Structure 1
Amino acid sequence: MTTPLDRHDVLLADLDGTLYRGAEAVPGAVEAVAAAREQGVTTMYVTNNASRRPVDVATHLAELGFPAGERDVVASSQAAAAMLVAQLPAGAAVLVVGTDALVEEVVRVGLTVTADAAEAVAVVQGHSPDTGWRVLAEATVALRAGAVWVACNVDPTLPTERGPLPGNGSMVAALRTASDREPQVAGKPAPALLHEAAGRVGATNPLMIGDRLDTDVEGGRAAGMTTLLVLTGVSDAAELLAAPEALRPDLVGADMAALHRPVDELAPGPRPGWEARTVEPGVLELSGDGDALDALRALCAAHWAAGGGGFRISPTGEGAVRALDELGLRPATVAGADTPDPAGARP
Structure 2
Amino acid sequence: MLPPYTTYLIDLDGVVYRGETLVPGAKDFISWLERTGKKYLFPTNNSFASEAQVVEKLNRLGIPAGKEHVLGAGQASVRNIARRFPGAHVFVIGEQPLIDMVIAYNLPLAREDASDADVVLVGLDRTITYQKLTAAVLAVRRGAHFIAINRDPLLPVAGGFTAGTGTMVAAIEAGSGVTPQVIGKPQPALLQEALNLLGSTPEETVMIGDGLEIDIKAGKAAGTHTMLVLSGKESRESLARSPIKPDLVYENLGAALADVLE
Residue in 2 aligned with 1:305? none
The aligned counterpart of 2:221 is 222
Larger radius of gyration: 1
Q: CA deviation at 1:203?
A: 5.0
Asked if structure 2 preserves the Cα contact closer than 8 Å seen for 1:99 and 1:127, the reply is yes
Unmatched 5+ stretches in structure 2: none
Letter in 2 for 1:96: V
SS at match of 1:18: coil
- Read off the aligned partner of 1:49 and give its amino acid letter: N
- Deviation at residue 184 of structure 1 after TM alignment: 1.0
Long gaps (5+) in structure 1: 264-347
CA, structure 1 residues 17+141, in 2 after alignment: closer, same or farther (shift >3 Å)?
farther
Of the structure 1 ranges 52-61 and 193-202, higher mean CA displacement relative to structure 2 is found in 193-202
Q: Give the RMSD, CA atoms, in angstroms.
A: 3.4
Contact kept, 8 Å, 1:16 with 1:159, in 2: the verdict is no
Amino acid at match of 1:259: A
Determine the structure 2 residue equivalent to 1:324. none
After superposition, residues 140-155 of structure 1 pair within 5 angstroms as 140-155=137-152
Relative to 1, partners in 2 of residues 1:251 and 1:179: Cα closer, same or farther, differing over 3 Å?
A: same
Going from structure 1 to structure 2, the CA distance change for 1:241 and 1:59 (only over 3 Å counts) comes to same
The 3 A distance-change label for structure 1 pair 85 and 11 is closer
TM alignment of 1:1-347, pairs within 5 A: 2=1, 4=2, 7-21=4-18, 24-28=20-24, 30-37=26-33, 39-40=35-36, 41-86=38-83, 88=85, 90=87, 92-114=88-110, 115-127=112-124, 130=126, 132-134=128-130, 135-156=132-153, 167-198=164-195, 200-201=197-198, 203=200, 205-235=204-234, 239-244=238-243, 247-262=244-259
TM normalised by structure 1 equals 0.61
AA partner of residue 27 (structure 1): V
Per-residue deviation, 1:30: 4.1
Query: Aligned pair in 2 of structure 1 residues 89, 202: CA closer, same or farther (>3 Å)?
Result: closer
- Rounded to whole Å, the distance in 2 between the matches of 1:29 and 1:166 is 35
- 1:294 is aligned to none
Contact 1:96 1:125 in 2 (8 A): yes
For 1:236 and 1:178, locate their aligned partners in 2 and report how far apart those are by CA, in whole Å: 39
Q: How many matched pairs? A: 255
Greater Cα offset, 92-101 or 61-70: 92-101
Distance 1:181 1:258, change over 3 A: farther
Identity, % of aligned positions: 36
Q: Which residue of 2 aligns with 1:302?
A: none
State the alpha-carbon separation in 2 of the partners of residues 206 and 158 from structure 1: 30
SS at the partner of 2:64?
A: coil
Distance 2:157 2:62 in 1: 18
TM-score (norm. length: structure 2): 0.77
Q: CA deviation at 1:13?
A: 0.7
Conservation of the 8 A alpha-carbon contact between 1:125 and 1:152: yes
| Distance 1:192-1:112 versus aligned 2 partners, 3 A rule | same
Q: How far 1:93 moved relative to its partner?
A: 2.7
